Amino acid sequence: MMILSWRRRKSTRHANKKKEFFAGENLDMEMEEIAVPTHFRCPISLDLMKDPVTLSTGMTYDRSSIEKWIETGNRTCPATNQELKSFDQYQTMHYVE
């Protein structure tokens, strides 16, 4: 299973750093990596999906990636290789099931 890593600020020392920031001092915040589940990544770009849509095949992609895929003349689902019957009907996914 592939895992995409993102970084976030460590909560420790955050309060002290916040005070330093407002005092105008240079921040040298520590970062830690967090794992992003693979089902949050687009199968085409492998990036975190920002505007996920689901095709009739049941596969979910980032809208911009699947639109580029279709615009370049592809007529199949990139993951399943099933023929796409309609190119303008995808379901927008704004929640995690």
Give the model confidence (pLDDT) of 22-64 as tens digits. Answer: 555 455 556 777 788 898 999 999 999 999 999 888 899 999 9
| 67/27 same-domain check | no
Residue 69 tokens, joined = 């895929």
| 22/51 same-domain check | no
| 30/49 same-domain check | no
Cα 80 to Cα 3, 18, 33, 40, 53, distances in angstroms: 21, 48, 32, 18, 16
| 87/57 same-domain check | yes
For the ranges 7-11, 53-57, 68-72, which has the lowest average pLDDT? 7-11
How many structural domains is the chain composed of? 2
Range of the domain at 88: 40-97
* DSSP for residue 41: B
What is residue 93's predicted lDDT score, i.e. its pLDDT?
A: 54
List Cβ<8 Å contacts ≥24 apart for 29-37. 31/7, 32/7, 32/8, 33/5, 33/6, 33/7, 34/5, 34/6, 34/7, 34/8, 35/3, 35/4, 35/5, 36/3, 36/4, 36/5, 36/6, 37/3
